[in-house]
Structure formats: C-alpha cells, structure tokens
Homo-oligomer: A and B are copies of this chain.
Amino acid sequence: TIQHIFKEIFKASLELQEDDSRKVLLVSRKAHPENTIVDINGETFGDGKQRFIMGPCAVESYEQVREVAVAMKEQGLSIMRGGAFKPRTSPYDFQGLGVEGLKILREVGNELGMSIVSEIVSPNDVELALDYVDVIQVGARNMQNFDLLKTVGKVNKPILLKRGLSATIEEFIHAAEYIISQGNNQIILCERGIRTYEKATRNTLDISAVPILKKETHLPVVVDVTHSTGRRDLLLPTAKAAMAIGADAIMAEVHPDPAVALSDSAQQMDIPQFHKFIQQLKTLQEKLA
C-alpha cells in the first residue's frame, strides 16, 4: 500500500537525518570510533581499567583532607575529589572554603602524590584553578552553564562533567560537545542520578545511561554512587552494578567523621567503611577480570 511505502521512506529519511546530525558531534563514536583515554598523571580512564575517585564532599580542613588521603593511599588510590566551591541550594548553607580549599587539596596532593579533582563554578575561577587541580569538575547544576563549558573547553586539563539534575542523555552529550568544540577532548562523563518522583533515594541512578553513553560517545564514563543514591547503605551495591555494567570509574564520598560533616553527612562513608567498600569492590574487580 501507499501508506507502507511512505512508512519505509519515513524510516529511511529519519535514519539519514539522525546519522547526519550525529555525525557532526565531535564527542560521537561515529566521529571517533576508538575510546578516548584520559590520563591523569599516569592513571588512565577509558582503557578498560576501572578506577576510583574518592574524597570528602567538602574540604573542611587540612587534617580532614589528609586523613582521607592517607586512607586512600593505603588502598593504592591516587585520584582524590574534594569540594572547595560548593553550590548549595541556600545562600546560608556552607559555601566551601574557596581558594583556601583548593590550596589544602594541592598541599595534601603534593605530599602524598595524589591527583586532585575539584569543582569550579565560575568561568573566572578556571585559570586560578589550573594551579591547584588536576581535573576540573563541572557540577550538575552547571551542566548547561555554557559559558563555563566553553571556558573549560579551552584549557589543557581533563574535565569531569556531571550530568545535570534532570538532563536528558542527549543534553548531556551536547554539553560535552560544548567543551570538545573548544579543543579540549579530555572529558570524563559522570552519571550522578536523575530527578524522579521516587523518594526512597535522593536521586534515581540511571544505570542504563552508562552503556548508552559508552555507545554514543568515545568518552570514559564515571558513576557517582553518593549523589545517585544519597544513602550510605546503597553505595556498595550500586558501585557493584556500575562496575558490572562497564563504568570506567566509581566516585564516592568519604569523610573522617560524617556525622559532623559540613555538608551531606548522611551519605558519606567513614574511614573504616571506605576500606571495606574498596576491598569489596577490588574483590569484585578481580572476579570480573
């Protein structure tokens, strides 16, 4: 029938168009079939090895950061995250130590040989941050802060880009394209849960996003189990799921004393929990290998 013919033409034309529009994206696998490998001082992301990015939610003091770093060192981990500029819902919540926080991270990083990941929220702070961090994080609330994306697209540092609170995967991919279009292809994508009606978890971990992002783009994909769930008891199981589905790294928050943390106390692990967490995931890693 005529309708059937139209249907076929429709499909063909749809595919043609989609092919076409995706072809132009620099982050697309169609443009670049091999995995992009992001190298952070020798630790590689995107080559099949599964990494850990750990650290406190917010930098509070030298002692706090060092205590976490020492524990990480003990586990052989070298990529540390910590928030110096904290985007908070209320202007009266703790906003982070700012540059002072970056200095603490760098100091501890230098002492223990750790790489530092920290969020930058303003284009104006990007240049300053280059002196302190090894990876610039763009947070969920800034995933479509296009000015910031373009700025970090011009620097020679890896970028960890978090998915927006309710960003579609398509929007997420296009946000990465803003960065790569400026020349910087050292991008790590981070799934951190999406906003849904469900209240049992802080966000809903969209685990399917991992294989979709790996298929659609050539970039490494990290899963932040802390913000995805907001529950300490779910960190380990969701991290296992993330490893099994092929995430390039797991990100989670650790605090020497979560109960007194200045932010997100309910979801951070303490040091003993951290050790147990890493050990169990290393065991899984060996099994999966």
Chain B proximity mask over A68-94: 1 for CB below 8 Å, otherwise 0: 000000000000000000011111100
A204 surroundings in chain B (CB, below 8 A): 194, 196, 204, 206, 208
Contacts of A209 in B (CB 8 A): 200
Flag whether A112 is at the interface (Cβ < 8 A): no
Once bound together, how far apart are the Cα atoms of A145 and B165, in whole Å? 13
Considering only CB atoms, which chain B residue lies closest to A13 in the complex?
Answer: B6
Q: Does A181 contact B (CB under 8 A)?
A: yes
Q: Which secondary structure characterizes the binding site on chain A?
A: helix
Binds B, one of A39-47, A128-136, A229-237, A256-264: A229-237
Q: Does A63 contact B (CB under 8 A)?
A: no
Chain B CB within 8 A of A111 CB = no
A234 touches B205 (CB 8 A): no
**Number of identical protomers:** 4
For chain A residues 114-139, which have a beta carbon within 8 Å of chain B? 121-124
Instruction: Please give, as numbers and ranges, the residues of chain B lying within 8 Å of A10 by CB-CB distance.
Output: 9-10, 13-14, 17
A208 contacts B228, C-beta separation under 8 Å: yes
Output the nearest chain B residue to A89 by Cβ-Cβ distance: B174
* Other-chain residue from B141, B177, B208 in contact with A145 (beta carbon distance below 8 A): B141
Check B240 against A87 for contact (C-beta < 8 Å). Answer: no
Assess whether A166 is interfacial by the CB under 8 Å rule.
yes
B169 adjacent to A166 (CB under 8 Å): no
**Residue A243 contacts which of B121, B228, B234, B244 (CB distance < 8 angstroms)?**
B244
Interface-lining segment among A30-38, A210-218, A267-275: A210-218
A287 → chain B, closest Cβ, in Å?
A: 5
28 contacts between A and B (CB under 8 A): A6-B9, A6-B16, A7-B13, A7-B17, A87-B146, A88-B146, A89-B144, A91-B150, A122-B123, A141-B144, A164-B165, A166-B166, A194-B196, A194-B197, A194-B204, A195-B197, A196-B196, A204-B204, A205-B206, A205-B208, A207-B241, A211-B237, A212-B234, A238-B245, A241-B241, A241-B242, A241-B244, A287-B287
Taking A3-B16, A194-B204 as known contacts, 9 extra A-B pairs with beta carbons closer than 8 A to each other, sorted by chain A number, are A89-B144, A91-B146, A91-B174, A92-B181, A121-B146, A141-B146, A196-B204, A210-B237, A211-B233
Interfacial residues, chain A to chain B (CB-CB below 8 A): 3, 6-7, 9-10, 12-14, 16-17, 20, 24, 87-92, 121-124, 141-142, 144-147, 150, 164-166, 168-171, 174, 177-178, 181, 194-201, 204-212, 215, 228-229, 233-234, 237-238, 240-246, 284, 287-288
